[in-house]
């Protein structure tokens, strides 16, 4: 496996139909910070890979200034792309039948470099340990890598407007937080064919669940044609609400995914996560640092971490009673 054959990409700028540039400064900085932490966390394990950040919000210069100055600092520079500028080029390069908003920007373009193993990563996914399962995919011959979904069945909550699609009936859903294609393969045409079924602006169309549904139909249709994929282990690639429990049970966690308001928990663990990413803090020390940081956290944030720990730990390390949590 050559790290030089890898391209990792992120997309930032619009949250559903709200542009980052419309957010208050502190919220804007929180989103940029999380994205930067995600990128940093993979730089340690892919030092020779090509890193690309696609930005689709307004105020590209403001965004760059914030990105470059906010802590933590990256291990090495990355490429940034002004997607709005690219999409307004002549001739236009919009691959959809609608003007993209929110998460639909993630796939503009669907492929940046077909000569590389290219993986799109959500900005709220952090790599906290060597991604051995990712390395396994890079050394295999499967064409696609995809993330597991924590729900067991396809529903409106997992695939939006595609929840009743016949190709998804009775199938386990995939999460689209991690989607990669092996070098030499480009399944963009199939994806944009799938998106033609989207009645944009009608129901869930600007939300992540319908975009995720499109990825599910895309992968299931390719599967029928013999295209192979690796779905990552849900224990090694965990949600924030589960990862500490897995570590407690000696399960090796490679990445953690902060969905919805769990992003706020990541922000409260900023120093702890940065230390882990940069210096590989041992699990016991990592765990203790999380508990200490959570003592000052809010009710719901503390609860998410608390319920992953044993009763003895709660009494001695949180120094709180059930009545106060």
CATH for 144: 3.90.550
Domain that holds residue 247: 238-324
Q: Is the pTM of this model over 0.85?
A: yes
Nearest by Cα to 11 from 40, 31, 41: 31
Number of domains in the chain: 2
Indicate the residue among 231, 254, 270 that finishes a domain.
Answer: 231
Mean pLDDT for 38-55 is: 97
Q: What is the mean pLDDT of residues 56-69?
A: 91
- Per the listing, tokens 């994205």 go with 35
- Rounded Cα–Cα distance for residues 126 and 117 (Å): 19
pLDDT value of residue 259: 84
Q: What band does 203 get if pLDDT is binned at 50, 70 and 90?
A: low
Q: Could you tell me if 173 and 286 lie in one domain? A: no
Rounded to an integer, what distance in angstroms lies between the CA atom of residue 144 and that of residue 122?
16
Residue 153 and residue 85 in one domain: yes
Task: Check whether residue 103 and residue 171 sit in a common domain.
Answer: yes
Q: Is the domain of 224 the same as that of 296?
A: no
- Residue 109, sorted as left (phi over 0), alpha (psi -120 to 50) or beta, turns out to be beta
Same domain, 74 and 158: yes
Supply angle C-alpha 56, 57, 62, rounded to 5.
Answer: 120
Query: Which of 147, 141, 131 lies closest to 49, judged by CA?
Result: 131
State the pLDDT confidence band at 300, using cuts at 50, 70 and 90.
Answer: confident
Place of tokens 């407690």: 248
Please check whether residue 291 is in contact with residue 305, taking contact to mean a CB–CB distance below 8 angstroms. Answer: yes
Both structure tokens of 4: 């030089």
Q: Which regions of 38-99 does DSSP assign to beta strands (E)?
A: 50-55, 79-82
Closest CA to 101 of 37, 190, 188, 20: 20
If we measure between CA atoms, which residue out of 135, 165, 145 comes closest to residue 254? 135
Q: What is the pLDDT of residue 319?
A: 41
- Phi, psi dihedrals of residue 320, rounded to the nearest 5°: -135, 160
Assess contact for 212 and 176: CB atoms under 8 A: yes
3-state secondary structure of 226: coil
Both 192 and 259 in a single domain?
no
Show the tokens assigned to 106.
């993630």
């Amino acid at each position: 496996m050559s790290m030089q054959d890898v391209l990792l990409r992120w997309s930032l700028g619009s949250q559903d139909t709200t542009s980052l540039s419309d957010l208050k400064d502190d919220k804007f900085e929180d989103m940029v910070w999380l994205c930067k932490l995600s990128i940093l966390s993979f730089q340690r394990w892919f030092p020779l890979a090509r890193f690309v950040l696609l930005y689709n919000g307004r105020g590209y210069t403001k965004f760059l200034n914030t990105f470059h100055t906010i802590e933590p600092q990256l291990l090495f520079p990355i490429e940034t792309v002004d997607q709005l500028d690219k999409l307004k080029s002549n001739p236009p390069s919009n691959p959809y039948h609608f003007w993209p908003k929110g998460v639909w920007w993630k796939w503009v373009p669907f492929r940046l470099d077909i000569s590389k193993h290219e993986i799109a990563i959500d900005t709220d996914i952090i790599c906290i340990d060597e991604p051995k399962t990712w390395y396994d995919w890079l050394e295999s011959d499967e064409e696609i890598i995809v993330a597991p979904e924590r729900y067991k069945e396809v529903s409106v909550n997992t695939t939006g407007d595609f929840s009743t699609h016949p190709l998804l009936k009775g199938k386990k859903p995939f999460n689209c937080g991690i989607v990669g294609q092996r070098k030499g393969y480009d399944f963009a045409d199939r994806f944009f064919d799938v998106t033609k079924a989207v009645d944009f602006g009608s129901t869930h169309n600007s939300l992540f669940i319908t975009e995720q549904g499109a990825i599910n139909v895309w992968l299931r249709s390719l599967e029928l044609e013999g295209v192979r994929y690796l779905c990552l282990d849900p224990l090694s690639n965990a949600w924030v609400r589960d990862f500490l429990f897995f570590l407690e049970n000696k399960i090796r966690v490679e990445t953690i995914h902060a969905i919805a308001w769990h992003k706020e928990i990541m922000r409260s663990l900023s120093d702890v996560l940065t230390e882990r990413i940069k210096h590989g803090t041992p699990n016991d020390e990592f765990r203790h640092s999380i508990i200490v940081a959570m003592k000052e956290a809010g009710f719901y944030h503390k609860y998410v971490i608390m319920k992953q720990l044993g009763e003895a730990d709660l009494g001695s390390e949180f120094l709180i009673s059930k009545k106060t949590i």
